[in-house]
Amino acid sequence: MGSFYVNALAQGGWKTLSKYEGRFSVNVMAKRGNEGVTVQVSPTGSGTSISVTTYPLPR
């Protein structure tokens, strides 16, 4: 599951900094220029929760 998000970010020009893929969740951190992004994916009772957070990186 984590490779899907890594590939999708790469297609958008993001460079993966770290990826954690556990039994029940995936967390990917990436950067593009002066921006950072964190993608968190985990199951819920009736589906999947996906959180995408972008933020400026310190210079």
User: How far is CA 24 from each of CA 11, 19, 50, rounded to the nearest angstrom?
Assistant: 25, 14, 13
Q: 34-46: per-residue pLDDT in tens?
A: 999 999 999 998 9
Which residues, 6 or more positions from 15, have their beta carbon under 8 angstroms from its beta carbon? 30, 31, 32
| Per-residue model confidence (pLDDT) at position 2 | 80
Neighbours of 55 (CB within 10 A): 9
pTM, entire model: 0.88
Q: Could you state, in order of their start, the residue ranges of all structural domains in the chain?
A: 2-56
Q: 4-58: per-residue pLDDT in tens?
A: 999 999 999 999 999 999 989 999 999 999 999 999 999 998 999 999 999 999 8
Question: CA 14, CA 30: separation in Å to the nearest integer?
Answer: 6
The tally of CA atoms less than 13 A away on the side-chain side of residue 23 is: 0
